[in-house]
Amino acid sequence: MIARLAGISLVLLLAACSTSTPVPEDRFYELTPELPGTLPQAYLKGGLSIARVVADPLRSGRAVLYRDAGRPLELKRYHYEFWAEQPPQMIQHALLEGLRHSGVADRVESGARRPHFRYELDVTLRHFESLLEAGRSRADIELEVALRKAGSGDLVWTKVYRRQIDARPGDIHALAHAMQQGLEQIIEQLNGDLKVAGTNDT
């Protein structure tokens, strides 16, 4: 009797396994923005330090987030969809590479405050999610940037950058590509603004 029950249990278990839906596989997305063009000279003299990009706890995580335009106060996250790194880290790496390549400053480093450098760039990540509205999807990225004197912390210049780039609804790879485009546009404009700030702060 025990053997018969064990056999029935095994058959039922195998049947359940054969008809069960496969568990979705986790997917990971990275940003590899194209580097901006090189400026003819350095406009920020004395070194530029890029401080750690800060964000709220949700945007500091690796889950891909989305927001329904009809419920603007509610953030949700996609299941099984993740950024390869935490967004603040990805953005800091992109800023570091972009500003180094542009040559807007004679030296560009990342990390903690460097008092021997003349400037420090403080960056806050305000938006980094998919915005959904009436069958439309947009990558929504917003950075608040402040240029300060590294030694005193005095504010030299500040600006908020926001880009919303259309992406194919339901396609997270397309969302990542649109987010990358938005970041490229922000870095390009940031280089121009830092050029002006450096020219005026002589």
Residue 74: how many other CB atoms lie within 10 Å: 9
The least confident of 3-17, 113-127, 174-188 is: 3-17
Q: How far is CA 139 from CA 9, 96, 163, in A?
A: 50, 22, 8
Those residues with Cβ within 8 angstroms of residue 177's Cβ, 6 or more apart along the chain or in another chain? 167
CA distance 87 to 124: 11
pLDDT at residue 161 in the model: 98
Q: Return left, alpha or beta for 18; rule: phi > 0 is left, psi -120 to 50 is alpha, else beta.
A: alpha
Q: What is the mean pLDDT of residues 99-115?
A: 86
Query: What pLDDT, on a 0 to 100 scale, did the predictor assign at position 151?
Result: 81
The pTM of the full predicted model, rounded to 2 decimals, is 0.87
Give the residue, 112 or 177, on which the prediction is more confident.
Answer: 177
The residue among 118, 64, 54, 138 whose CA lies nearest residue 91 is: 54
Q: Which fold has domain 28-200?
A: Rossmann fold (3.40.50)
- The yes-or-no verdict on residue 5 having pLDDT over 50 is no
Give the model's pLDDT for residue 17: 53
pLDDT in tens, 49-74: 999 999 999 999 999 999 999 999 99
pLDDT of residue 24: 84
Residue 166 DSSP code: E
Sequence-ordered list of residues with C-beta below 8 angstroms from that of 71, at least 6 positions apart, any chain: none
Q: What band does 2 get if pLDDT is binned at 50, 70 and 90?
A: low
Query: In this prediction, what percent of the chain has a pLDDT beyond 90?
Result: 80
H helices then E strands: how many in the chain? Answer: 4, 8
**% of the chain at pLDDT higher than 70:** 88
H/E element holding 177? helix 172-200
Each residue of 120-132: pLDDT tens digit? 999 999 999 999 9
Q: Is the pLDDT of residue 177 over 90?
A: yes
Q: What is the mean pLDDT of residues 166-181?
A: 97
- pLDDT bucket at 9, cuts 50 / 70 / 90: low
